[in-house]
Amino acid sequence: MSKTNPGNFFEDFSIGQVIEHATPRTVTEGDRALYGALYPTRFAVPSSAEFAASVGLTASGKGHPVEELIAFHIAFGKTVPDISLNAVANLGYAECRFHQPVVPGDTLRTKSEVIGLKQNSNGKSGVVYVRSTATNQRGEVALDWCRWVMVHKRDVDAAAPEVVVPELAPVVAPENLVIPDGLDFASYDFGAAGETFRFDDYAVGEKIDHVDGVTLTDPEHMLATRLWQNTAKVHFNTEARPDGNRLIYGGHVISMARALSFNGLANAQLIAAINGGSHVAPAFAGDTIYAWSEVLDKAVISESIGALRLRLVATKGRDESTTLRNAEGKYAAGVLLDLDVWALVPR
Amino acid sequence: MSKTNPGNFFEDFSIGQVIEHATPRTVTEGDRALYGALYPTRFAVPSSAEFAASVGLTASGKGHPVEELIAFHIAFGKTVPDISLNAVANLGYAECRFHQPVVPGDTLRTKSEVIGLKQNSNGKSGVVYVRSTATNQRGEVALDWCRWVMVHKRDVDAAAPEVVVPELAPVVAPENLVIPDGLDFASYDFGAAGETFRFDDYAVGEKIDHVDGVTLTDPEHMLATRLWQNTAKVHFNTEARPDGNRLIYGGHVISMARALSFNGLANAQLIAAINGGSHVAPAFAGDTIYAWSEVLDKAVISESIGALRLRLVATKGRDESTTLRNAEGKYAAGVLLDLDVWALVPR
Amino acid sequence: MSKTNPGNFFEDFSIGQVIEHATPRTVTEGDRALYGALYPTRFAVPSSAEFAASVGLTASGKGHPVEELIAFHIAFGKTVPDISLNAVANLGYAECRFHQPVVPGDTLRTKSEVIGLKQNSNGKSGVVYVRSTATNQRGEVALDWCRWVMVHKRDVDAAAPEVVVPELAPVVAPENLVIPDGLDFASYDFGAAGETFRFDDYAVGEKIDHVDGVTLTDPEHMLATRLWQNTAKVHFNTEARPDGNRLIYGGHVISMARALSFNGLANAQLIAAINGGSHVAPAFAGDTIYAWSEVLDKAVISESIGALRLRLVATKGRDESTTLRNAEGKYAAGVLLDLDVWALVPR
């Protein structure tokens, strides 16, 4: 019997099945430093323990939060060996909420529940919907999210399961956002944060070209992807694809776009939710990544805190026209990522 | 007089000589994070402080152990400027034992004793045998090992020393393995560790193809090699070799193979000893590294702990046939590393 | 109105203006590890907490200092978005003094005062002189320095400001060097430090060829430059320059040269001041960097501490002749960096 992990195939999943993913992972200050080396991030909360304290995030002895996307990538990476090792495609995300900030010393583990199954008409694959939850060493939820992936069948003759397609919210309702304990932007230091713009300075429909670009390299995305213990072979092995290119982990593009968005959204300090997202096209070493954002919605959270719903778009080559779709309604050439998030900003 | 280090030549060594190597080095959480970015490691003990605690490794206030190979590379790197700066070849290792786990905050220093000398018949070089010992800031042994290297003579007319060839154990006897204080696999969480296989599931003679491959790059191996303060110029300087290639530090291939072996040996949590090892062929950027293992022996250590003696082989290109040697008894094409280790697994 | 930072132009600066730079940054053990992965540094003080304690640097509960250049790069990086985003050239440094060592947990912020302005005769740009000061979370000065940059005008018709050119010391006087609290080399361990040479072993006029070379790569300098939150686009974006090359951040060459200088200057443990420096030529991936030093001056600081004034030169390709200038008095071919520092050594 082979001892290596073959991953799960479509017929291995059943509604209600709960999978406890392996390799719990302790977050450290080393992760923060590497994240800052890999992405041009400058958001003041993860950059400065003093700033984080000034907005109430280290009250009651808690540590200095790391970027939400560090927690997201680690928690997500844990699901890969069980959920998407035999995936044809990552189809979508929904209802991703960040609960309590993750700090160095926290150990994250992830479990997933199968909440939907739908075999494709070709009989060779199917769509698996899971709700995944990452918890820390005290059992508190750090984040949870849904995603759906298309997975190969091992045996095309295996019977199709009953079709269950979950109803997923197209956007997390503002009242369902989790605001970190203690967060208060009342004495927010705009000078330290880097920009003067607050909640009221952003209008629904406004687009922001983040201007800066970064050309991707293979060593950098491999360092990042390994750091999250995501071991999908296409990211590391030039012999795994006919073209000899390493496919860049979609999360690398998410983090790059988020970091680039500092220029214009420096006060979008915390990501509260990911409403959805599409990896529109693959990215490879040599591509130069730019980003633009669009304000999709706004919501008042408290006296000092507002939430901006932002479309964050990563492109290959700069698109100053910030065009999402072409005349035929398809994604415009160059669009790599179309992400929909809620971010918390000072009012 | 030149102030730069010329290294030692064969005639500079004498039997019984003790060399205290320079640049003690404090291990940090940054080392753990970088190791995880450089190698696809997922072993639960170094990945999770909670898991390490659950197997007794953080009892009495000790910290969260890092991978044994971090300690090995750091301790080994210290010996390079004194032992192998003028080496023609690294000929072998033996009797490497890991004593107490290394945790962030530990400061390692290394000393070596010359235990063997044998001039080559050509009179131009000779073999130097050293036993090296790395200790922490409390003077406790972290690891010790023997290695032998072929070193140039400065002056071919220097007299040959008396031949002393030490007797080195071909394999560390199981009763000589050092089991970390407190280690107990009685309540081992196989789900968290990632595989269900325990001591009894492995048979002597069994081979495991670890399946996954990683294509090497120059920036990554240089980051790794510098991290261990190993400054041998062939790893960093394209002008140091006629072919313009940087030679990849053999330890980089060891760590890559060990990390790849997770897939099939996820429960081989701790390396207790390195019995021997050969760097069969050099590795360069662009090579895709795969690994396979063979169970060479087994030993019961305690009620909850077993030891597997494993041959860990790294290859350039995947060798599904897991062939070590060709018909002529020579290493098969593609074999880069042949390492012999004892690993501790739950019973 | 665009929300992205356009940077300041020459006419935006005025004498006496104080700019508080954004994004305070907490230093961590992750920074130390990454620095050691990026540069071949082995200086015993930042390498070993035990060694740092043995020379008095962790007295009164202070932590383990990181390399001065980590603090320099972080503090400098903060000034880029406000001072040099529209710079034509970085013209010089002066009067850079390191005050108290920076330790993990310290949060650095930087402010700059405009101390000089001189419009160029072409009317299109001008030189801006600033004195920048980086402080920690207790308001203590970590380092301060002057630099002057040539900055574009936004509007060539803007009126020229009154010419003010500050008087800057060509070299920090030894009595103005700040010696870290508690520093005492009386029980300095030369074996651990790696070389036997002390203050009296260095003569004014002596040159040291540091011998070793490192070939640069793009991923490595980008990791470094991002780590310091220096976001100047020419370092990251192949579309930002006509030749498609990424220009390597000058500080990367400084750190590489400093690390290479260990071989011959292992006891130049601490940098106390940077008297001046010129980035003579740009560096690109593929260049192999070597370094040599010249002892320019010496000063006794205390019974156990001496200061060496060193010219640290980085070259592209090794220059064994250690020639700074050619017959015409211009920098010799291959010279990339000419740095003038004070370093503290044991007497």
For domain A171-347, the question of CATH label 3.10.129.10 is answered with yes
The pLDDT, as a whole number, for residue C96 is: 98
CB contact under 8 A, A233 and B215: no
Taking alpha carbons only, the member of A35, A68, A65 closest to residue A256 is A35
Mean of pLDDT values over C270-282? 96
CB < 8 Å from C in window 187-216 of A: 191-195, 197, 201, 208-215
Give the type of residue at B254. I
Lowest mean pLDDT among B267-276, B287-296, C82-91: C82-91
The pLDDT, as a whole number, for residue C61 is: 77
CB contact under 8 A, C50 and B24: yes
Mean of pLDDT values over C298-302? 98
CB contact under 8 A, B37 and A109: no
The pLDDT, as a whole number, for residue A88 is: 83
Burial letters B67-102, b for 16+ CB under 10 A, else e: bbbbbbbbbbbbbbbbbbbbbbebebbbbbbbbbbb
Sign of CA dihedral A12, A15, A21, A27: positive
Instruction: Express each pLDDT in A259-307 by its tens digit.
Output: 999 999 999 999 999 999 999 999 999 999 999 999 999 999 999 999 9
Residues pairing with A25 in the sheet: A108
Taking alpha carbons only, the member of A148, C104, C40 closest to residue B105 is C104
Judging contacts by C-beta atoms under 8 Å, the chain C residues touching residue B219 are 217-220
**Structure token pair of residue B65:** 């152990």
Residue C1 has pLDDT above 80, yes or no: no
A314 three-class SS: strand
Decide: C282 and C310 in contact? Cβ < 8 Å: no
> Mean pLDDT score of chain A, rounded to an integer?
96
Q: Which residues contact C311 (CB under 8 A, 6 or more apart)?
A: C293, C294, C296, C324, C338, C339, C340
**Structure token pair of residue C279:** 């980035």
Q: What is the DSSP letter of C22?
A: S
Judging contacts by C-beta atoms under 8 Å, the chain A residues touching residue B192 are 20, 22-24, 109
Q: Which residues contact A330 (CB under 8 A, 6 or more apart)?
A: none
Which residue of chain B is at minimal alpha-carbon distance from A19? B191
**Structure token pair of residue C118:** 């001189």
The pLDDT, as a whole number, for residue A5 is: 85
Decide: A271 and A183 in contact? Cβ < 8 Å: no
Compute the distance between CA of residue A267 and CA of residue B174 in angstroms, rounded to an integer: 59
> Residue A252: in which H helix or E strand, if any?
helix A250-260
Which residue of chain A is at minimal alpha-carbon distance from C244? A215
**Matching CATH topology for C1-27+66-168 and C171-347?**
yes
Q: Where are the beta strands (DSSP E) in A125-176?
A: 125-135, 141-152
**Structure token pair of residue A327:** 């005349």
Judging contacts by C-beta atoms under 8 Å, the chain B residues touching residue A81 are 194
Q: Does C326 touch chain B (CB under 8 A)?
A: no
The separation between the first and the last C-alpha atoms of chain A, rounded to the nearest angstrom, is 60
CB contact under 8 A, C24 and A64: no
Q: Which CATH number fits domain B10-346: 3.90.850.10, 3.20.20.80, 3.10.129.10, 3.40.50.2300?
A: 3.10.129.10
A48 three-class SS: coil
Judging contacts by C-beta atoms under 8 Å, the chain C residues touching residue A217 are 218-219, 222
Angle at A167 between CA A165 and CA A173, to 5 degrees: 160
Mean of pLDDT values over B203-225? 97
The pLDDT, as a whole number, for residue C86 is: 84
Compute the distance between CA of residue B12 and CA of residue B26 in angstroms, rounded to an integer: 30
> Residue C145: in which H helix or E strand, if any?
strand C141-152
Lowest mean pLDDT among A262-266, B90-94, B287-291, C176-180: B90-94
* Minimal C-alpha gap between B222 and chain A (Å): 11
C12 three-class SS: helix
Share in percent of chain C as helix, strand, coil (round to 5): 25, 30, 45
Compute the distance between CA of residue B192 and CA of residue A20 in angstroms, rounded to an integer: 8
Decide: A335 and A313 in contact? Cβ < 8 Å: yes
* Minimal C-alpha gap between B142 and chain C (Å): 16
A30 three-class SS: helix
C284 three-class SS: coil
Compute the distance between CA of residue A261 and CA of residue A274 in angstroms, rounded to an integer: 15
Q: Does C302 touch chain B (CB under 8 A)?
A: no
Q: How far is CA B185 from the centre of its chain?
A: 24
Give burial (CB, 10 Å; 0-12/13-18/19+) of C233.
middle
Q: Where do the domains of chain B lie? A: 10-346
What ipTM was estimated for this complex?
0.96
Give burial (CB, 10 Å; 0-12/13-18/19+) of A78.
buried
> Mean pLDDT score of chain B, rounded to an integer?
96
Instruction: Express each pLDDT in B50-67 by its tens digit.
Output: 999 999 998 777 899 999
Mean of pLDDT values over C163-169? 97
A292 three-class SS: strand
Decide: C286 and C246 in contact? Cβ < 8 Å: no
The pLDDT, as a whole number, for residue C59 is: 78
Compute the distance between CA of residue C147 and CA of residue C276 in angstroms, rounded to an integer: 9
Compute the distance between CA of residue B51 and CA of residue A307 in angstroms, rounded to an integer: 37
Decide: C298 and C307 in contact? Cβ < 8 Å: yes
Instruction: Measure CB to CB from residue B50 to each of A5, A137, A227 and give the nearest one.
Output: A137
Chains adjacent to A (≥3 CB pairs closer than 8 angstroms): B, C
Q: Which residues contact C308 (CB under 8 A, 6 or more apart)?
A: C199, C202, C268, C295, C297, C298, C342, C343, C345
Percent of chain A with pLDDT over 70: 99
Taking alpha carbons only, the member of A270, A250, A256 closest to residue A310 is A270
CB contact under 8 A, C22 and A44: yes
Decide: C295 and C202 in contact? Cβ < 8 Å: yes
Compute the distance between CA of residue A165 and CA of residue C124 in angstroms, rounded to an integer: 64
Q: How crowded is residue B244: how many other Cβ atoms within 10 Å of its Cβ?
A: 10
> Mean pLDDT score of chain C, rounded to an integer?
96
Rounded to the nearest 10°, the torsion over CA A270, A271, A272, A273 is: 180
Instruction: Express each pLDDT in A214-249 by its tens digit.
Output: 999 999 999 999 999 998 889 999 999 899 999 999
B82 band by pLDDT with thresholds 50, 70 and 90: very high
C124 three-class SS: coil
Decide: C200 and C75 in contact? Cβ < 8 Å: no
Q: Where are the beta strands (DSSP E) in chain B?
A: 18-20, 25-26, 87-98, 107-119, 125-135, 141-152, 207-209, 214-215, 270-279, 288-300, 305-316, 335-346
CB contact under 8 A, B47 and A3: no
Compute the distance between CA of residue C108 and CA of residue C166 in angstroms, rounded to an integer: 26
Residue B1 has pLDDT above 70, yes or no: no
Judging contacts by C-beta atoms under 8 Å, the chain C residues touching residue A49 are 26, 105, 107, 137
- Architecture of C1-27+66-168 per CATH? Roll (3.10)
Residue in C2, C8, C19, C23 to test binding to A, most A beta-carbons within 10 Å: C23
CB contact under 8 A, B222 and C220: yes
Q: Which residues contact A175 (CB under 8 A, 6 or more apart)?
A: none
**Structure token pair of residue A289:** 């990544």
Instruction: Measure CB to CB from residue C214 to each of B28, B81, B236 and give the nearest one.
Output: B236
Residue B25: phi and psi, rounded to 5, are: -140, 125
Residue in B4, B34, B238 to test binding to C, most C beta-carbons within 10 Å: B4
B180 band by pLDDT with thresholds 50, 70 and 90: very high
Compute the distance between CA of residue A24 and CA of residue A26 in angstroms, rounded to an integer: 7
Residue A57 has pLDDT above 60, yes or no: yes
- What angle in degrees, to the nearest 10, is found between the helix axes of A29-38 and B29-38? 50
The pLDDT, as a whole number, for residue A1 is: 53
Taking alpha carbons only, the member of B255, B180, B191 closest to residue B51 is B191
Compute the distance between CA of residue B339 and CA of residue B332 in angstroms, rounded to an integer: 15
C146 band by pLDDT with thresholds 50, 70 and 90: very high
* Minimal C-alpha gap between B224 and chain A (Å): 11
Which residue of chain A is at minimal alpha-carbon distance from C136? A50
Decide: B46 and B27 in contact? Cβ < 8 Å: no
Percent of chain C with pLDDT over 70: 99
Decide: C68 and C130 in contact? Cβ < 8 Å: no
CA atoms within 13 A on the CB side of C85: 16
Q: Does C22 touch chain A (CB under 8 A)?
A: yes
Q: Which residues contact A193 (CB under 8 A, 6 or more apart)?
A: A43, A44, A51, A266, A267, A269, C22, C23
